[in-house]
């Protein structure tokens, strides 16, 4: 009787419940998280501003001009802040890349030993770690060191202009919710409608931020909604006081 020829084992497929996350998808998640937070900032900032003014004045033109001014100032501030922050990060990453390039050029043996030690520290046997270091160095020494030591991809550094534009766009998108909510209804319904629209928008952004961050949706949403509600209540109260006192 002939023996059954053993078949090679089929590599296990990733579980749909635990999908693999690669660097590209991780960066996409970071961008999505930043966009959601930027939109949330626009919602809360402009909601507090227009509700506060609505508490002090019933003039539609004053509320609209204040809201537009706040949106422009907020979007420009977000864009400038993000550009400066990401530019500083990019400069630091470029400096690290230049330093690593210099070390590989002038101390190749020491850098090779360092690379092998890094893989050995991750659990590989010394001989295997040296073999991996040999092959990676032969293929792309700089890329191997940047990945193992710094988790950097020299061909995929964050673009400060992209970050700046995305931040401003997210803020503008979120800010349009309270501005439209306070401008469309009649004067008697402006504040209640704005409160409702903003709270609904905050529920959405809170849920999205929790989803992309893998956190509890309930807790994240409650925090975001409470923060926005408190901001609107405080600014509305101040507006009422200012409007009554005539300051």
pLDDT tens, position by position, 25-68: 555 556 677 778 889 999 999 999 999 999 888 889 999 999 99
The C-alpha atoms of residue 135 and residue 33 are separated, in whole angstroms, by 37
Give the mean pLDDT of 178-197: 93
Class of residue 203 by CB neighbours under 10 A (exposed 0-12, middle 13-18, buried 19+):
middle
The C-alpha atoms of residue 195 and residue 204 are separated, in whole angstroms, by 14
The token pair at 215 is 């956190």
Which pLDDT score, from 0 to 100, does residue 8 have? 43
State the pLDDT confidence band at 145, using cuts at 50, 70 and 90: confident
The token pair at 7 is 């078949």
The token pair at 21 is 């996350």
Which pLDDT score, from 0 to 100, does residue 163 have? 85
Which pLDDT score, from 0 to 100, does residue 28 have? 58
The C-alpha atoms of residue 148 and residue 100 are separated, in whole angstroms, by 12
Nearest alpha carbon to residue 70 among 165, 176, 163, 164: 176
The C-alpha atoms of residue 126 and residue 22 are separated, in whole angstroms, by 27
What percentage of the chain exceeds 70 in pLDDT?
Answer: 84
- Give the CA distances from residue 47 to residues 3, 70, 93, 176, 203, in Å, rounded to whole numbers and listed in that order: 76, 10, 37, 9, 15
The C-alpha atoms of residue 192 and residue 181 are separated, in whole angstroms, by 9
Class of residue 96 by CB neighbours under 10 A (exposed 0-12, middle 13-18, buried 19+):
middle
**Within its chain, how far is the Cα of 142 from the centroid?**
28
Q: Does pTM top 0.75 for this prediction?
A: no
CB 47 within 8 Å of CB 232? yes
The C-alpha atoms of residue 223 and residue 210 are separated, in whole angstroms, by 11
- Give the CA distances from residue 105 to residues 33, 99, 117, 145, 232, in Å, rounded to whole numbers and listed in that order: 38, 10, 19, 12, 59
Which pLDDT score, from 0 to 100, does residue 4 have? 42
């Amino acid at each position: 009787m002939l023996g059954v020829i053993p078949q090679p084992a089929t590599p296990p497929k990733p579980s749909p419940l635990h999908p693999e996350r690669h660097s590209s998808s991780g960066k996409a998640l970071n961008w999505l998280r930043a966009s959601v937070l930027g939109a949330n900032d626009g919602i809360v900032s402009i909601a507090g501003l227009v509700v506060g003014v609505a508490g002090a004045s019933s003039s539609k033109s004053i509320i609209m001009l204040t809201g537009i001014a706040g949106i422009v100032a907020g979007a420009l501030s977000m864009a400038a802040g993000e550009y400066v922050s990401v530019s500083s990060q990019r400069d630091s990453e470029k400096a690290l890349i230049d330093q690593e390039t210099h070390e590989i050029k002038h101390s190749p043996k020491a850098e090779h030993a360092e690379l092998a030690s890094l893989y050995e520290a991750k659990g590989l046997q010394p001989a295997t770690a040296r073999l991996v270091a040999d092959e990676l160095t032969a293929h792309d020494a700089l890329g191997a060191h940047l990945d193992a030591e710094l988790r950097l991809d020299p061909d995929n550094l964050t673009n400060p202009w992209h970050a700046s534009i995305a931040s401003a766009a997210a803020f503008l998108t979120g800010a349009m919710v309270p501005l439209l909510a306070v401008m469309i209804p009649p004067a008697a319904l402006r504040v209640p409608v704005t409160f409702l629209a903003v709270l609904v928008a905050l529920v959405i952004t809170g849920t999205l931020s929790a989803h992309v961050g893998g956190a509890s949706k309930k807790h994240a949403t409650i925090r975001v909604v409470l923060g926005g509600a408190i901001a609107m209540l405080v600014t509305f109260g101040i507006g009422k006081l200012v409007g009554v006192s005539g300051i």
